[in-house]
Amino acid sequence: MVRILYDPENVNCLFSMASVLLKHEREQKIIIPTETKSLLSPKLKEVLLETSIVKFDNTQLDEFNDDLRTCDNQIIILGLRPKNKKEAAIVAQFVSDYKRQIKLWIDDKNWQPDLYNYLRLDNQNIIATNESSCLSKLQKHGYPAPAIWLRIDKALQKNDLRNFVARRYIQAIAVNQVLVNNCFNDIDSQIQIFRLAIQEIIDKQLSYEISELADMFFDMKIKTEILKDNFSDTHPIFRKAKRLGCPVGYLYLKDMERSADIKSIIELGLKKYPWLCVVVYNIKDEKYIFVKSKYIPINELLSYYGELDISINSLLKLLNAEVVNYKIKNDHK
């Protein structure tokens, strides 16, 4: 059985995943979306050691062929990489645990040289350099890589929107990411879009869902650009913060179009209101709040306040107090 691990947020893996699926189309396989930090998780360990097909969270069982043959247990990894020292240690341990099963570990970024050279002492099948794409590396190992795939894949690597197919995937995945962020959803939606794109590449039939997302891209950009200029520092809750020279940018979107990029809107708002930016918005009768500051540890505060189950107005009052206290405290240093 072939276990294929990949990063569902890495658009550069689309065509390399399609290539791996075609190469192993007659074999049993499990497709496992994951993150580097989760490589040593008990659930992943369970599915990697299992000798029969099992279901693992968002794991996708093969649906490309019904008549499948078994093979030796193999692991193929696409686009996963260590981003810090902790993840480097996780990768090193993972390679030590599964070095006999790792058939290929392909990445298109350079890893930390000491780690990379150490891992390759025992496993030459780990290939992580920025010299070529994952698809080009797979091609050298006998995996299918039609010329048209290589052209589109190259455009994806460079974020080149002049290539129609690359533009379509880049835009669809970007819009989908915004929809996920706006509603604080988990990764399931990203996994589904990734899977639809791979299916589309293999079947050569356009996916309606991907087309719909791609068509929303420019509308999203326009809405985002318009809304970034609508912040105001006149909300009465933040009056004291403003008097202290810490104006808070506030934006309320009563009936927001879900494709507006809230994350980008607040980043742009921070340029004018670095102390605190707040966006409150409704999507399908659900109210959300997005908050960011250049000075105050907002994530820690929201994590704490989130456990209190308070109203948004009460949360705004608490945030105002945090800005005021932070300003007074730092003025007396």
Provide the terminal-to-terminal Cα distance of the chain, rounded to the nearest Å.
63
Nearest to 163 by CA among 173, 171, 152: 152
Give pLDDT, residue 304: 60
Q: In what order do the strands lie in the sheet with 74-78?
A: 60-61, 29-33, 2-6, 74-78, 102-107, 126-128
- Does the pLDDT at position 67 exceed 80? no
Q: Name the band, by pLDDT with cuts 50, 70 and 90, for residue 54.
A: very low
Residue whose C-alpha is closest to residue 264's, from 225, 293, 230: 225
Q: pLDDT of 256-272, one tens digit each?
A: 766 789 999 999 999 99
Scanning the structure block, which residue is given the tokens 């990764």?
A: 187
Question: What angle is formed at CA 111 by the lines to CA 107 and CA 116, rounded to 5 degrees?
Answer: 100
Please tell me which residue, 64 or 243, carries the higher pLDDT value.
243
Is 28:102 a contact under the CB 8 Å cutoff? Answer: no
- Among 196-205, 228-237, 296-305, name the one with the lowest average pLDDT: 296-305
Domain ranges of the chain: 2-215, 225-331
pLDDT digits (tens, 9 = 90+) for 149-198: 999 999 999 999 999 999 999 999 999 988 888 876 666 788 889 999 99
92-135, pLDDT tens digit by residue? Answer: 999 999 989 999 999 999 999 999 999 999 899 999 999 999 99
What pLDDT, on a 0 to 100 scale, did the predictor assign at position 285? Answer: 77
pLDDT at 56 over 60: no
Half-sphere exposure of 197 (CA within 13 A, CB side): 33
pTM of the predicted model over 0.85: no
Whether the pLDDT of residue 47 is over 90: the answer is: no
**pLDDT given at position 282:** 85
Measured CA to CA, the distance from residue 65 to residue 58 in angstroms comes to 19
Q: Which residues of 79-107 are buried (b: 16+ CB within 10 A; e: fewer)?
A: bbbbeeeebbebbeebbeebeeebbbbbb
| Position 42 pLDDT exceeds 50 | yes
Q: What is each CA distance from 105 to 26, 98, 124, 142, in whole angstroms? A: 21, 12, 9, 15
Average pLDDT, whole number, for the chain? 87
Confidence of residue 63 (pLDDT cuts 50, 70, 90): very low
Give the model's confidence band at 50: pLDDT under 50 very low, under 70 low, under 90 confident, else very high. low
**CA pair distance 74, 30, nearest whole angstrom:** 10
Q: Alpha-carbon distance 61 to 333, whole Å?
A: 59
Q: Is the pLDDT of residue 25 over 50?
A: yes
